[in-house]
Amino acid sequence: MRVEELFQLDGKVGLVTGGGAGLGRQFAEGLAELGADVAVCSRKLERCEETAAALARLGVRTLALRCDVRRPEEVASAVERVVSELGAIDVLVNDAGTSWGAPAEEMPLEGWQKVIDVNLTGLFLVSQAVARQMIGDGRGGAIVNLASVAALRGSPPGRMDAVSYSASKGGVIALTRDLAWKWAHHGIRVNAIAPGWFPTSMSQVLLDAHGEEFLAGIPLRRFGGADDLKGALALLASPAGAYITGQTIVVDGGMTA
Question: Annotated active-site positions, please?
Answer: 165
In whole angstroms, how far apart are CA 193 and each of 85, 162, 221?
A: 28, 19, 20
| DSSP SS3 for 189 | strand
Q: Which amino acid is at 169?
A: K
In sequence order, the 6+-apart residues with CB closer than 8 A to the CB of 98 are 114, 115, 118, 119, 202
8 A C-beta contact, residue 149 and residue 194: yes
Query: Please, are residues 94 and 126 in contact by the beta-carbon 8 Å criterion?
Result: yes
Distance between CA atoms of residues 128 and 74, nearest Å: 13
Residues 6 or more apart in contact with residue 34 via CB below 8 angstroms: 7, 8, 9, 10, 234, 237, 238
Dist CA 74 CA 92 (whole Å): 16
